[in-house]
């Protein structure tokens, strides 16, 4: 089981899966459940050919072989995903599955906690970069520097190039890690409103019109 999590070499994962049977597959699939914690209303994929197709690649690990669901780049080979989470995430690993040809992305760059990134923003130094191998079956796991990705509420994934094709095609992106609910921020807002109310009230008594202007 530990070997299945470690580096995710295709051979190891297959052996572990065979040894553990369907239970091993289920367990591994559960580890890649962060797609359930994505705020899909705010998920963005820049340079996608078909609108909304970028969101389709984030799904259950068991469904990664569904080749009807994919995203393809439009103007050139670059793709940029902006992925907001519904809480805080400790990101441990990423899988990128594409075709066994030149449309498969060749490099992946990860940025944490920079909402609404553009391609111009992607020129900055990423938090981690990976050289990718072609992975048509979704078995290769790229482990992150967990200390750097231990408190992530927004993840941006930039694919700057592929293996030489005009466009990039991705069938599945798996995100592995832990999710925790973010209540600290909400509590701060409540406290602020509670302490601000008396001040608002005082202001209203002195200059009633201020209330209507704001």
Per-residue pLDDT of the chain (214 residues; tens, 9 = 90+): 333 333 333 333 333 333 334 566 777 778 899 999 999 999 999 999 999 999 999 999 999 999 999 999 999 999 999 999 999 999 999 999 999 999 999 999 999 999 999 999 999 999 999 999 999 999 999 999 999 999 999 999 999 999 999 999 999 999 999 999 986 545 444 444 444 554 444 444 444 444 444 3
What is the reported pLDDT for 184? Answer: 54
Q: What is the pLDDT of residue 11?
A: 32
CB 170 within 8 A of CB 58: no
Closest C-alpha to 172, from 107, 104, 117: 104
Which one, of 100, 96, 50, 43, lies nearest residue 73 by Cα?
A: 50
| Superfamily designation of domain 27-180 | PITH domain (2.60.120.470)
What tokens does 147 get? 């200390």
End-to-end CA gap in the chain? 59
Determine contact, residues 91/35, Cβ cutoff 8 Å: no
Rounded to whole angstroms, how far apart are CA atoms 161 and 191? 47
pLDDT at position 2 is 35
Q: How many whole angstroms separate alpha carbon 149 and alpha carbon 170?
A: 23
For the range 36-42, what are the long-range contacts, defined as Cβ-Cβ under 8 Å and sequence gap of 24 or more? 37/85, 37/86, 37/87, 37/89, 37/179, 38/83, 38/84, 38/85, 38/86, 39/84, 39/85, 39/86, 42/82, 42/84
pLDDT for the residue 70? 98
Residue 27 is predicted with a pLDDT of: 76
pLDDT at 203: 43
Q: Is 158 exposed, middle or buried (0-12, 13-18, 19+ CB in 10 A)?
A: buried
């Amino acid at each position: 089981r530990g070997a299945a999590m470690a580096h995710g070499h295709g051979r190891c994962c297959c052996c572990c899966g065979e040894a553990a049977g369907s239970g091993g597959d289920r367990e591994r699939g559960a580890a890649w459940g962060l797609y359930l914690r994505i705020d899909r209303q705010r998920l963005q994929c820049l340079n996608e050919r078909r609108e909304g197709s970028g969101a389709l690649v984030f799904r259950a690990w068991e469904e990664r072989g569904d080749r009807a669901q994919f995203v393809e780049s439009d103007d050139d080979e670059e793709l940029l995903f902006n992925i907001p989470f519904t809480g805080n995430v400790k990101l441990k690993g990423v899988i990128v599955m594409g075709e066994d040809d030149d449309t498969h992305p060749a490099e992946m760059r990860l940025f944490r906690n920079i909402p609404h990134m553009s391609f111009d923003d992607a020129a900055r130094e990423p938090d981690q970069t990976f050289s990718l191998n072609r992975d048509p079956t979704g078995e290769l796991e790229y482990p992150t520097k967990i200390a750097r990705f231990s408190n992530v509420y927004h993840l941006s994934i930039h694919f700057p190039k592929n293996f030489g094709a005009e466009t990039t095609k991705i069938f599945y992106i798996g995100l592995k890690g832990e999710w925790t609910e973010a209540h600290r921020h909400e509590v701060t807002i409540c406290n602020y409103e509670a302490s601000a109310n008396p001040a608002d009230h005082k202001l209203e008594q002195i200059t009633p019109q201020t209330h209507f202007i704001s």
